[in-house]
Structure formats: structure tokens, C-alpha cells
Structure 1
């Protein structure tokens, strides 16, 4: 069953609010909820949350707004199946290169984009080696990451850590390919996602990091390498072990703080109140935790592992014409804060839809 938030009534009313710009539809008065008390008007609350998300999104975060508030949700109900992806055993079944390829690019003095047209990966350069953040799919890792690094004269053997935001194939898939090309780079991942990999050996065939040297993250911690510190913040929700990050980059020598959102889509079970409401609560709490950390750190750059959410590929194409102008990746502190408002407000709208179902409305 589709989530109630996506009902025709809600979407039609929302379309009126959004297309009309500042015009707000007047909600219909709710019927009595018994004992003389008016019933809670969930539709009005849903519309208010969506409007707040739309206002926070502006033009910068439209991809996040559309995915979280208006596109049909992906129901990530737990699965007991353990099946190897077809392209692992038969590379001919991998998607065509032109569906995922993007050029690598230097984004800041010490940060490089080595991702694809949809799924991102990043090289963070330090004074004592490299940190790879996310690894894309198994079938794209050599082309995008290993070959992409060569463009900047980097050697995979200089990768000391591979940090995985969460254990979905589009982010962990290339980890085995990359790790074999290094000199024992250690993989950093949320403890719950390490457990998911271990209990699904077929699902992660050809995509499995080295458990013996792996680093399990259960709480906030700092990963230090040379002159660089990666602040790791557990943000469970998208997956149980999702991690987000704060770190410093330099733009022509000027230090800037990056907030890296480790999991944005509502990729967990959210099609019914139980466990949907609890899952959404966890997701919202994590987003708010990361938001507070980003604001406190003065983050002015918002990055993600999907261009859908941070427009990374579009921005890399704008860089060559930058000249002495602003770096397109610098959002500004208000925009970074607003990103998390979009995430929270859209998730609250979904939560309200489930509460409406639970109330029998």
C-alpha cells in the first residue's frame, strides 16, 4: 500500500500550494474526534510540513525536496534473502558505462570528486596519504576511482582509509576492488552495517571489505591522518549503520567546513505505522543531530553521496569556468542548515501520514 502522504488528495493540495508560490490552500475543517473535541487535521499538518520543506529548499535543494517529499517512497522493508547481484558473476550484465560515467574533478585544494553521474565518491588528500569516502558500485570502481585518481597523479597505494557512509551496493560496492589496489587500506564503517555485510555473504560477494583490519564505528569519533581530521557522526536511519562526516577543505588556501550527509533517501520500511513511525523518528533524530553539528562547526559546504542531493556533477562542470569567482560547491551556512530542514520536514510529513493511518482517518 502506498504511504498515505502520497495520496491523491494530499498531492493535489500540495500542488496547489507549491505551484501557486505564496498561495496557501485553506484546509477543510476536521470532523469531531469524540468527546466534543475536534479531530486532528493531519492533512493540514502534512501540507504545513511540505510547505516548510519547500521554503527551506529554495532552488539549491530541489532534488532533495522532490525525492523526500513528493516522489513515491522506496520501501526498504528488511529482507532475509541473500542473493548475489547478476553483474558480479556476469560482468556483461552491468549497466552500460554511459549510464553511470562522469569525469573526475578537483573540487577544492585537497578534495577530489571520483564518482559517477549518480553515485559519488571523494578523495580527501592529507599530508600523510589519502582518504577515500565511499566507493560506488563494484562494476564502476576501477574506471571512476582508480583511473580517476590517475588524472591527478594519485597512487591507490597512498589510500590509507576507505570510509563507507553505509552498506548499500552503490556506496560499498567498489570497496573490494579499491582495497585490493591499496597497501592494506583500512575500511571504516558503522558497526550495524558491518554486521549486515557479514550476515549476507552472497549479497556482498565481490563487495566485501577486509574484516580483520576493519574499523567498526559505534559512536562519534575522529579519524586523524596527517594534518586532517575526519569527524565521524553516526546517523542511523537510511541504514542502521549510516555515518555522516564533518571535515575541513581548502579553497585557494581558505579553510572551509564540509558537512557530508551519509544517507538521505527514506530507504527503510515506511509503508505502515509499525515500524514506519519508529524508523522515521530515528531518521529525523539523526538528521537533527547532524544539523546541529554542522551549524556548530560553521559548515558552508554540503556534500552527499548522490548528485541528486548535492548537484555534484553539475557543479564539477561549472568549475572550469569559475575563474576568480566563487566555488559552486560553497553553499553558505544558511543553505547547509536549510538542507537538513528539508530532510526533517519531509520526513515529518511522512510520519504524519502514518500517524493519520494509525488514527483511522
Structure 2
């Protein structure tokens, strides 16, 4: 390779590496106190990458494996709560980006759990997402993981008397999933993602032609869901750290019960999407 071409290649590679590192906040891998949210629903994620454990007499359900390097953190959180790691029987995810599914292959190997994924993301999960190149977005690539059940919109996942419902909220990915469940008779909603990542093409996308309409579907679904407990794939969606700090002083009031916060968040994200869509349409 000629020196000039080599230097150019090195510069591109370094730029991509630094960009990929910049995408990852320190909060993604910083441990956070595992805690009970309500009933048999627990938080076992980091400061910002949210993972949830639903415990039952017949084993447990884990939602979101986060990054590959997050697995020890999640395992430690489950153990600190007094539950067995190998009692996880089902692994679910919010969507096929590495910050929510990168650790899936390792968790499946360690626990023997079954992997259920919305059909729109299942192929990506099994293939490892976008082929890794210097220019491909890092969050689109991850370790491949076998999918045992391909879910459709509205399907239920039941274990030991607890049922989660998979709601297709596409756009962020074709199979982006918002999970809901009843906890102590209340409606808990774990938002998949309504966000438009920087660089996302919303108009005339060659890789995802229906993306704009799918985002509109996402917001219609989110606005129609019954909601008492507001949760999400990132702790930042629902102000995890501030709400967790209130647990000890809430006086019996659960800070995660936040209908108003949910409505405000969804409305804000919808406006951000519409603004970006209008920009890309030249309006």
C-alpha cells in the first residue's frame, strides 16, 4: 500500500474508532444499585443501560442483555438481589442494537435461557447485525445469538404466572419492542426506543424504506398504551437516577409511578422526530 493511502486508511480507521467510543457514555457500564421497582419486577442494569428481571416461581425473565461487557454487571445485580443467574429461563430485548443485545449470546450460553425476539429484529440478532467495517455504525454490530421464538405484535410471553406483552413500536429498528406487564395490578411500560439516532435517514432510505411511517406507528402505539409505571430501555428515558434516589424518602409513594412523565417524554420524542423528518424533507 502506498504511504499516502496507508495514512488515509489509518486516519479513517482512527476517526471511526474515536467516534464509536464517543457513542458510549460512561454511564452505560457504571454499576447501579439493583432494586425492586414493584411486585416481582426488578432493575438489574447500569446507570443508563436498563435491564429488568421479572421473577417467578418457575424461573425468571430478563429483559435486555446490554453490551457484551455488561454481562458481569447484570449477573452481579441479579445475585445481589438474592436470585440465581441460572434460573433465568427467558431472555427478551428491546431492539437489535448492541447496547441492548450485545450480551445476549453470552447470557444464553451461561443460563441456557430461551431467546424470544420480535420478528422484525430476529434476522439481525441471528446474523450479528450489520457486517463490521470501518464505516459501519458500531451499535449496529454485535455477537450473533440464536432466536428460539419469533414474536409478532401483541404476542404474550408467560412464565410462572407473569405475562409480558410485546408491542411492536418500530422505527428505531424494524422490530423495536415496547414491553408491558401488570405489576401489583398496575400497568408497567418499558419503552423500546422512540429516538432518531444521529445520521438516521428518514426520507428515501435505501435500507429501511418504511422507516418514517414506522416511527409514526411507534408513537401511535405508545400514546395508546395504558400506563402507571414508566420505564425504558435507557434509564435516562425515565430519569432513573433521580427517581431511585427518592425510593428511601418517598413515604410509600413509588416514584416510578409517573403517567405525566411518560406522556411528556413520548410527546417530546415525537416532536423531535417530526422536526427531523421535516428537515430531511426540506420543509
Query: Is TM (by shorter chain) over 0.5?
Result: yes
List per-residue Cα deviations over 1:301-334 (Å, max 9, x = no partner). Answer: 1110112211123322321233x331111103x4
User: By how many angstroms is 1:98 displaced?
Assistant: 9.3
Deviation at 1:345? 2.4
TM-score where L is the length of structure 2? 0.79
Structure 1 pair 110–349 and aligned structure 2 pair: CA distance change class (3 A):
same
Q: Which residue, 126, 134, 146 being the options, matches 1:198?
A: 126
Q: Pairwise mapping of residues 171-320 of structure 1 onto structure 2 (< 5 A)? A: 171-182=100-111, 184-200=112-128, 207-211=143-147, 214-250=148-184, 255-267=185-197, 270-271=200-201, 273-275=203-205, 278-292=210-224, 294-295=225-226, 299-320=227-248
Whether the aligned pair in 1 keeps the contact of 2:50 and 2:66 (CA below 8 Å) is yes
Quote the offset at 1:274 in angstroms. Answer: 2.0
Aligned to 1:180, the other structure's residue is in SS state helix
User: In the TM superposition, what are the counterparts of 1:83-232 in structure 2 within 5 Å?
Assistant: 100-143=30-73, 145-182=74-111, 184-200=112-128, 207-211=143-147, 214-232=148-166
Which structure's CA Rg is the greater one?
Answer: 1
Q: Identify if the C-alpha distance between structure 1 residues 316 and 270 changes in structure 2 by more than 3 Å, giving closer, same or farther.
A: same
1:336 partnered with 2:262: yes
Whether the aligned pair in 1 keeps the contact of 2:57 and 2:160 (CA below 8 Å) is yes
Contact in 2 for aligned 1:191/1:218 (Cα 8 Å): yes
Q: Give the unaligned 5+ runs of structure 1.
A: 1-84, 87-93
Whole-angstrom CA distance in 1 between matches of 2:219 and 2:33: 30
In 2, distance between residues paired with 1:321 and 1:128?
A: 33
**How many Å apart are 1:199 and its aligned residue?**
3.6
Aligned residue number for residue 8 of structure 2: none
Instruction: Give TM-score, length-normalised by structure 1.
Output: 0.63
1:272·1:354 contact (CA, 8 Å) conserved in 2?
A: yes
Give the corresponding residue for 2:275. 349
Contact 1:269–1:279 at 8 Å: present in 2 too? no
Q: Distance in 1 between matches of 2:162 and 2:108?
A: 21
Counterpart of 1:336 in 2: which secondary structure? helix
The count of aligned residue pairs is 252
Quote the Cα distance in structure 1 between the aligned partners of 2:27 and 2:230.
27
Aligned-partner Cα distance in 2 for 1:268–1:97: 19
Tell me by how many angstroms 1:97 deviates: 8.9
Alignment check: 8 A CA contact 2:67 2:98 kept? yes
Q: Which runs of 5+ in 2 are unaligned?
A: 1-15, 18-23, 133-139
Note if contact 2:157-2:164 (Cα within 8 Å) is conserved in structure 1.
yes
C-alpha change, 1:118 and 1:223, in structure 2 (3 Å) is same
Structure with higher RCO (Cα < 8 A, 6+ apart): 1
